[in-house]
Amino acid sequence: MKISLKKKILDKNEECSLQNSAFFADNNTFCVNVISSPGSGKTTILSRTIGDLKDRLKIGVIEGDIRTDTDAKKIRSTGAAAVQIETKGACHLSAEQVTGALGAIGAADLDIVFVENVGNLVCPSAFDLGEQARTVVLSLPEGDDKPIKYPGTFAGADVLLINKMDLADVVDFDLDRVINHISTLKPDIQIFQVSAKTGEGMDAWYDWLMKRADANQPKED
C-alpha cells in the first residue's frame, strides 16, 4: 500500500485566505482588495463609491492601518458598516485579520466587501486575503514610473484606478506610458481614469463593480 504524503502544507495565511474565499462564495458577497501607496485616495474613492451606489448595493469596508481609526470613521460617515484593523506596525493585512472582521461587518448580508489595505505598494500584494478581485490605485502625483518600479503589485491587479485626474494639468504624468506598460504586465487589466474628488470617470468603475457583484449572485432558473 502506498500512502501519499504530497498534501500541501498550507501556511496560516493561505489557510485563512481559502476560508475567506469559501465564505464569500457561500454568501454571494463580492470582495475587493484595494491596494496603493499611502495617500493615493483609497478612502476617498470608497466613500464616494458607497455614497453613489448606496441605493443599489449593500457595501461594507474592512480598513487596515498601522494606527488610528480615522479611515473607518470616514467610511461610517457615509452610513456604511466599517471595521478598523490596526496592524500595530505590520505593513499589510493578513487573511486571518480579514476572517476576524467578517462577522463584525455583517459580511454575509452584503453585496460588496471592500478591504482597504495598509498604504503600501509592496507588501500587501504578497498576501492573498481570499478576495475575488484586486484593485490597485495609482494617483497622478505619484508619477508614471510606478508600474515599472513596482511590477509585482500591478501585475497582480484586476483593476487599475488612475486617480486624481483633476490634477492632470498641474503634474507631469504620461498616461500613455502607464497604459502601455501595464498592458505588457497584465494585458486583461481594467483601467479607469477617475477623480474621486470631482466624480470624473467614476461611472465606468461603478458599472464594472455592479457587473461583477451581479455575476456573483445565484442565477435564477
Q: Name the site residues for its own copies (rule: CB under 8 A).
A: 37-39, 65-68, 70, 89, 91, 118-123, 126, 139, 141-143, 145-146, 148-152, 164, 167, 170-171
Q: Give me the least distance between CB of 37 and its own copies, in Å please.
A: 5
Which residue's entry shows cell 503589485? 153
Q: Give me the least distance between CB of 51 and its own copies, in Å please.
A: 18
Measuring CA to CA, how many Å separate 26 from each of 13, 132, 188, 204, 214? 20, 13, 27, 28, 15
Any idea of the CA torsion for 141, 145, 150, 152, to the nearest 10 degrees?
Answer: 110
What is the spatial distance between Cα 80 and Cα 30, in angstroms, rounded to a whole number? Answer: 16
Q: Are 176 and 206 in contact (CB under 8 A)?
A: no
